[in-house]
Chain A
């Protein structure tokens, strides 16, 4: 079995947000305005935040890129009333845009806020990547682990996974090699080796979602 996952090495992250830009371009994620920022309507499948611990002067912070965790036990899939969001056999949590009714139940169920509602009309807006299906207003969209790249690689018989195979756009774009993508079920993959050798954690593992994105720090 194949089970795709990602390891993010926070020791390497410099917080440049190249991954966020690469994701926007690759997945034709609609542009946002300062108004959208104020209204908390940003479309950012990939975002880089700073988390802080403690109070001044005893305070430490770290930069953290956040993407969809492609959970083993995804709350968003459980709640979808029209079966629009589903977990693919290889571990990807995907969304059928043509079926979504926009009830936003998945958005409230996701503990990671990794689902985004299309508030405005998308039709007139320019889309760059022809491999990615366009989205219309009134539906929910999310990170796909660049499924179009993975599907293409499978069709062409190419290797998938870091360091020398096909990777999602964010992983490929990272200048510090912070992200490592690959098959968690393959003991020889780079992700499995890293998880065996380094101490790691998942985001909000206490909620029982079993995220497939691991953090090292």
Chain B
């Protein structure tokens, strides 16, 4: 298996880098504004303190973990047909996790104090954030070493061991991310032992789907021929993950509807509140059921691409439905008694331009790093 760099000196690639750089600049501007002036321009409130940035953080981490687990197909399970994309998927996993951590910085009230996480984190290891900051750091280091060993043909055995370790660590990383939410007893939509598992499945879905999209678009742009068999094969994995995800979402919600811990107000809000179209329309129908239907017919390249796009949107909607409606309803103070006035009403989170700008800035930075990576590192399979 031979790998190659791309040329990347065409006008098109420079225009693309230019557009991405503008996104980074706008995001950076909003980030500095938020740091110096406070989060006044954000859409968050005291009831919904976590907004769209946290939604994209868990989406990025999920996609990263999914992409890394996918690379283990080649190195752990010996499926040689996926070897052409395994190196680039490790590279994407590294970029996505670094992007996720950058987005967290944009969301923190005092990003200048983030070193406190490493200084004081060890003294409170009951906090999932503190545990995760060490998990993520370890994950980044391990992935970089893992990527490096794939360039050394003499280290194939080490690569295989590292691949297994990286896949295990990716599972733990995403379990930890799910536990950030799953351990919170105050939120009915979050407090669930199933959440870390749902996170892993959603990670695999978004990882595979995003990888299919990014790779097919990259190959198209640089004029390489994509192996259709490979894409169709990845589509087979995608449908399995989508079915599993649908099943888990069904189980979790059926338990909520049946039991209704804490008054069941939050589930009612998810199913029929102002965000219900995101749940039913985007997450369930367009993000899960439609791609399953598309993939269950005979797979072609274009069908797998459309299904992947829908699945990525669906997983993002799933994250959104967890983070935002999960916080919107103020929890009851005395069970069975409702608070009068604004205090008892759900808070509506409106997406603000500042938050979107920060997220797009991170996406732009990931894009630039990806293009430059393809140009300077031998990541893509060489053409026959």
Contact = CB atoms under 8 A, between A and B. Distances in A.
Interface in A1-56: 37, 39-42, 47, 49-53
Interface magnitude class on chain B? 35 or more
A82 B124 contact: yes
B17 interface: no
Interface stretch (B150-158, B168-176, B206-214, B331-339): B331-339
Given A110-B186, A111-B186, A139-B109, A82 B38 contact: no
Contacts of A157: none
B333 A52 contact: no
B40 interface: yes
B340 interface: yes
Nearest to B35: A138
Contacts of B356: none
Interface in B124-174: 124, 126-130, 133
A112 B333 contact: yes
Nearest to B181: A108
A81 B183 CA distance: 14
B341 interface: yes
B120 A50 contact: no
Contact of B38 (A104, A111, A118): A118
A172 to B, nearest CB: 24
Interface string B38-50: 1110101111111
Given A75-B185, A79-B128, A108-B184, A140 B347 contact: no
Contact of B50 (A51, A108, A207): A108
Given A101-B109, A108-B49, A80 B327 contact: no
Contact of A119 (B35, B38, B50, B338): B38
Interface stretch (B3-11, B110-118, B235-243): B110-118
B110 A100 contact: yes
A104 B129 CA distance: 11
Contact of B109 (A66, A102, A201, A204): A102
B41 to A, nearest CB: 9
A79 B109 contact: no
A203 interface: yes
Interface string A187-210: 000000000000001011011110
B121 interface: yes
A127 interface: no
Contacts of B109: 100-104, 117-118, 137-140
B117 A82 contact: yes
Interface string B336-351: 1111111110010000
Contacts of B331: 111-113, 204
Given A81-B130, A103-B129, A117-B109, A40 B47 contact: yes
Most buried by B among A37, A40, A42, A51: A40
Contacts of A110: 186
Contacts of B35: 138
23 contacts: A41-B45, A49-B341, A51-B333, A79-B129, A79-B183, A79-B184, A84-B116, A100-B110, A101-B113, A101-B114, A103-B109, A107-B49, A108-B50, A108-B184, A113-B331, A115-B46, A117-B39, A119-B38, A120-B38, A137-B38, A201-B334, A203-B334, A204-B335
Give 6 nearest A-B pairs by CB, closest first.
Answer: A102-B109, A138-B109, A137-B38, A81-B129, A111-B186, A40-B45
Interface of B: 35, 37-40, 42, 44-50, 104, 107-111, 113-114, 116-117, 119-121, 123-124, 126-130, 133, 180, 183-187, 327, 330-344, 347
Given A51-B337, A105-B129, A137-B38, 11 more contacts: A40-B347, A49-B343, A50-B340, A52-B340, A80-B124, A81-B128, A82-B130, A83-B124, A103-B108, A117-B109, A136-B110
Interface of A: 37, 39-42, 47, 49-53, 61, 64, 66, 75, 77-84, 99-105, 107-113, 115-121, 136-140, 201, 203-204, 206-209
